[in-house]
């Protein structure tokens, strides 16, 4: 359904003053796409509704299209014009080197995308990241006063650890934890990171520290504590809109970029995790979740 409500942005979002009937894209239809999992799908729907509220025409057929391999090819070919991308994972997909520096990751990805599919632009990235993270139960956090990874160093041998199967050889796991935090735990169970078995082991107290994904719904559902990576050991994987340059040439570029950048400015990791949970766990309709978030944040009335 086409939205005709006015986008209401604050001063922090470039102070756009737009009427509900203003046309941002003329006769051009923006083909919005996304990877197939719920988190990416709901962010793509937020993009779509916000763009419609600003007079752009939107085609949603590409939302949930498939894996990154599928959506990257679709973006390069023009099958879709726009998608939310995890910039670290996107950079790795194209053979780039991961980094904990978000700005450097964006710059490196942009350099690659300049030569893909006629050129693409990486817009502003969110503070939100979906990356490997270390999580403890609230009781454990309270017992040992844990809020960040460096808090684990002094108590590491009092805890049972669940680490990724590839942790011993993964440079951003065992090696990074030891060099940055002095962590070399002895009681370790190796499981797939971000997996149900890892979450189940933490819930069952088989382990006390679990390597999960930072936006995993199980963290919210169980009230677990996500420990801050205060030494920045994990590669940056912020979320950003990627848009084809040939689309930007056909529409009001400034307006489109302002709308999407304003959305990115409002999405932190907790917000992304909550959006994901509402769809994946609470089984709410993606369009309804997107609309509620846009209204709550003043993007539509």
Is the Cβ–Cβ distance between 286 and 42 less than 8 Å? Answer: yes
CA dihedral of 151, 157, 162, 166, whole degrees rounded to 10: 100
**Which value, in Å, is the radius of gyration of the alpha carbons in the chain?**
20
Starting at the edge strand found earlier in the chain, the sheet holding 209-213 runs: 188-191, 161-164, 209-213, 132-136, 225-227
Residue predicted with more confidence, 61 or 14: 61
pLDDT of 268-278, one tens digit each? 999 999 999 99
- Across the chain, the runs of DSSP E, i.e. the strands, are 29-35, 57-66, 82-86, 120-122, 132-136, 161-164, 188-191, 209-213, 225-227, 239-244
**Dist. CA 71–CA 64, nearest whole Å:** 9
How many C-alpha atoms does 150 have within 13 Å on its Cβ side? Answer: 5
Q: Which CATH class is domain 132-227?
A: alpha beta
**Dist. CA 72–CA 55, nearest whole Å:** 27
How many C-alpha atoms does 132 have within 13 Å on its Cβ side? Answer: 26
Q: Is the pLDDT of residue 144 over 90?
A: yes
Assess whether the region 11-127+239-296 and the region 132-227 belong to the same CATH fold.
yes
Is the Cβ–Cβ distance between 300 and 291 less than 8 Å? Answer: yes
**Dist. CA 141–CA 118, nearest whole Å:** 50
* pLDDT at res. 193: 87
- Name the residue among 165, 89, 91 with its Cα closest to residue 129: 89
Fold of 11-127+239-296: D-Maltodextrin-Binding Protein; domain 2 (3.40.190)
- From 2-16, 32-46, 155-169, 252-266, the region with the lowest mean pLDDT: 2-16
What are residue 188's DSSP bridge partners? Answer: 161
pTM of the model: 0.84
Token code pair at residue 142: 């309270």
Q: Give the Cβ contact number of residue 208 at 10 Å.
A: 24
* pLDDT at res. 23: 57
pLDDT of 189-233, one tens digit each? 999 989 999 999 999 999 999 999 999 999 999 999 999 999 999
Token code pair at residue 25: 């894209």
pLDDT of 45-73, one tens digit each? 999 999 999 999 999 999 999 999 999 99
Task: Show me where the domains of the chain are located.
Answer: 11-127+239-296, 132-227
* pLDDT at res. 171: 86
């Amino acid at each position: 359904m086409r939205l005709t409500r006015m986008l209401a942005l604050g001063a922090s979002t470039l102070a756009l003053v737009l009427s509900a009937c203003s046309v941002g894209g003329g006769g051009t239809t923006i083909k919005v796409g996304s990877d197939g999992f719920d988190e990416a799908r709901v962010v793509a729907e937020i993009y779509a509704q916000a763009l419609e509220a600003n007079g752009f025409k939107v085609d949603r057929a590409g939302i949930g299209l498939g894996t990154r391999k599928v959506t990257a090819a679709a973006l390069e070919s023009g099958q879709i014009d726009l998608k939310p991308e995890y910039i670290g994972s996107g950079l790795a997909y194209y053979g780039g080197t991961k980094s904990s520096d978000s700005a450097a990751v964006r710059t490196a990805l942009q350099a690659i995308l300049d030569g893909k599919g006629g050129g693409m632009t990486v817009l502003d990235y969110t503070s939100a990241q979906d990356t490997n993270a270390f999580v403890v139960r609230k009781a454990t956090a309270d017992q040992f006063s844990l809020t960040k990874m460096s808090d684990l160093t002094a108590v590491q041998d009092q805890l049972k650890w669940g680490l990724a199967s590839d942790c011993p050889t993964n440079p951003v796991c065992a090696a990074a934890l030891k060099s940055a935090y002095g962590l070399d735990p002895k009681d370790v169970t190796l499981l797939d990171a971000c997996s149900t078995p890892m979450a189940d082991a933490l819930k069952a107290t088989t382990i006390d520290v679990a390597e999960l994904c930072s936006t995993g719904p199980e963290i919210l559902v169980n009230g677990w504590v996500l420990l801050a990576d205060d030494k920045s050991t994990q590669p940056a994987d912020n979320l950003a809109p990627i848009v084809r340059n040939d689309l930007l040439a056909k529409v009001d570029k400034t307006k489109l970029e302002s709308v999407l950048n304003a959305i990115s400015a409002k999405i932190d990791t907790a917000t992304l995790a909550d959006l994901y949970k509402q769809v994946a766990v609470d089984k709410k309709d993606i369009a309804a979740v997107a609309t509620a978030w846009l209204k709550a944040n003043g993007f539509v009335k």
